[in-house]
């Protein structure tokens, strides 16, 4: 697998100090090749936009206010293909059901500072639905791994009510600390991302040039998502939206939920407790953990104290369940366990190793596992077939 360097992508330009690439989804005719046209397979969900505007298909039965099954699957697809470029993301989201969508990629790369920050904003054709997706850790991108390992905590403060600033904590009994590498990557593209969201809230296309007037309906529903490093960035971006007065005022009400897949921990226990006590961060940030994926258990205890926050859904090989606090992913004991999980992943391919019991398998971290586990048997995949049946 090769890495995707946003600086080498076609149609790229600099805008306000960041890299920008725009795309528009192909037509429905282009999405349906000869065989698919006969089966009329795309889009996968005819009513996907309505589902974003009004989720009504609980992933876990009897939990109407929890994660939505169709949205979880769609956002897992978006997160998985966020490892590509704007045109691919736009195409895959059109296949899923956001026909005629626009997509803007916003990126900033600075290797010496361990910054490889890439965000995608997908906007429905009429402007009412927007998805913000962050790219995760690329397997062969060494700077990505240094970002993940850059654990220097950044102190933050939750002020009166729910406001968060970047000032050092002075009043909390325990400092509220956030993962420095993840936080820096979010902040690298934050200005342009939030500027684009603010314009989308007014009905301006996400691909429009500065100064363009609104031509669409105002944004009504915003979702944030990501896989791995992208999931961590999604969680921090959600925290910043809900705790920055300007952002919360302009599009906080439109933010419906965050769906994070294979998310590592982003803050210390004090920060996690403060987020869990927050009405949105504690209830509407949905974390998904596939089987023995080790990343939701990182950073390990020998590298500092961290804890997850939000609602966790775990997959045991058969079904998804919502886990209570005691059963949620806790910190791994030692970082060597993470290294060992990579070696033990060979057990998936070598029959002689399959019987060895292990706690973690790095192979379970791959985004395709999350997509497949969220696809019901018999449903069409993002490729227009039903291989998961």
* Residue 89 reports pLDDT greater than 90: yes
Q: What is the pTM of this model?
A: 0.89
Give mean pLDDT, residues 273-283: 93
* Residue 140 reports pLDDT greater than 60: no
Whether the ω angle into residue 299 lies within 30 degrees of 0, i.e. cis, is: yes
In angstroms, the CA 219 to CA 127 distance is 6
Q: Tell me the pLDDT of the chain averaged across its residues.
A: 85
In angstroms, the CA 266 to CA 49 distance is 31
Contact 134, 121 (CB under 8 A): no
DSSP-based three-state secondary structure for 277: helix
Which of 168, 175, 116 is CA-nearest to residue 140? 116
**pLDDT tens string 141-199:** 544 444 445 556 666 655 434 445 444 444 445 788 899 889 999 999 999 999 999 99
**pLDDT tens string 376-385:** 988 889 988 8
> Rounded to 5 degrees, what are φ and ψ at 220?
-110, -30
Tell me how far apart the terminal alpha carbons of the chain are, to the nearest angstrom: 27
Identify the pLDDT of residue 191: 96
Domain boundaries, the chain: 6-332+364-373
* Residue 367 reports pLDDT greater than 90: yes
Identify the pLDDT of residue 173: 59
In angstroms, the CA 230 to CA 235 distance is 9
Identify the pLDDT of residue 345: 52
Render the burial of 340-368: b for 16+ CB within 10 Å, e for the rest. bbeebbebeeeeeeeeeeeebbbbbbbbe
Identify the pLDDT of residue 57: 94
Render the burial of 239-251: b for 16+ CB within 10 Å, e for the rest. bbbbbbeebbebb
Specify the range with the lowest mean pLDDT, choosing from 8-22, 100-114, 238-252, 282-296. 8-22
**pLDDT tens string 295-343:** 999 998 888 899 999 999 999 999 999 999 888 998 988 765 655 555 5
> Which of 9-13, 92-96, 323-327 is most confident?
92-96
Identify the pLDDT of residue 349: 56
Query: Would you say the C-alpha torsion 84, 85, 89, 91 has a positive or negative sign?
Result: negative
What number does CATH give the domain 6-332+364-373?
3.40.50.1820
């Amino acid at each position: 697998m090769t890495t995707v360097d946003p600086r080498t992508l076609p149609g790229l330009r600099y805008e306000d100090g960041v890299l920008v690439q725009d795309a528009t989804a192909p037509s429905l005719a282009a999405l349906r090749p000869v065989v698919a046209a006969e089966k009329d397979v795309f889009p996968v969900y005819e009513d996907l936009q309505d589902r974003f505007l009004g989720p009504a298909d609980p992933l876990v039965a009897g939990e109407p206010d929890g994660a939505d099954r169709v949205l979880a699957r769609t956002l897992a697809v978006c997160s998985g293909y966020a490892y590509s470029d704007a045109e691919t993301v736009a195409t895959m989201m059109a296949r899923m059901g956001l026909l005629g969508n626009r997509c803007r990629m916003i990126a900033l790369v600075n290797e010496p500072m361990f910054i490889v920050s890439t965000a995608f904003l997908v906007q429905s054709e009429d402007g009412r639905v927007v998805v913000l997706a962050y790219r995760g850790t690329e397997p062969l991108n060494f700077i990505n791994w240094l970002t993940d390992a850059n654990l220097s905590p950044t102190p933050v403060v939750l002020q009166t009510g729910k406001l968060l600033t970047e000032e050092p904590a002075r009043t909390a009994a325990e400092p509220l600390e956030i993962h420095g590498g993840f936080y820096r990557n979010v902040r690298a593209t934050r200005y342009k991302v939030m500027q684009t969201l603010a314009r989308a809230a007014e009905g301006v296309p996400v691909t429009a040039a500065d100064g363009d007037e609104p031509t669409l309906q105002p944004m009504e529903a915003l979702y944030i998502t990501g896989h791995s490093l992208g999931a961590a960035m999604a969680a921090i971006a959600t925290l910043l939206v809900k705790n920055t007065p300007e952002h919360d005022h302009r599009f906080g009400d439109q933010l419906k939920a965050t769906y994070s897949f294979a998310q590592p921990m982003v803050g210390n226990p004090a920060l996690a407790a403060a987020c869990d006590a927050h009405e949105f961060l504690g209830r509407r940030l949905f974390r998904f953990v596939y089987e023995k994926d080790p990343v939701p258990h990182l950073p390990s205890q020998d590298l500092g104290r961290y804890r997850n926050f939000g609602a966790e859904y775990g997959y045991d090989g058969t079904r998804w369940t919502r886990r209570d606090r005691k059963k949620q992913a806790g910190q791994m004991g030692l970082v060597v366990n993470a290294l060992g999980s990579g070696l033990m992943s060979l057990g998936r391919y070598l029959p002689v190793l399959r019987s060895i019991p292990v706690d973690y398998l790095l192979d379970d971290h791959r985004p395709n596992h999350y997509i497949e586990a969220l696809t019901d048997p018999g449903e069409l995949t993002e490729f227009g077939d039903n291989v998961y049946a």
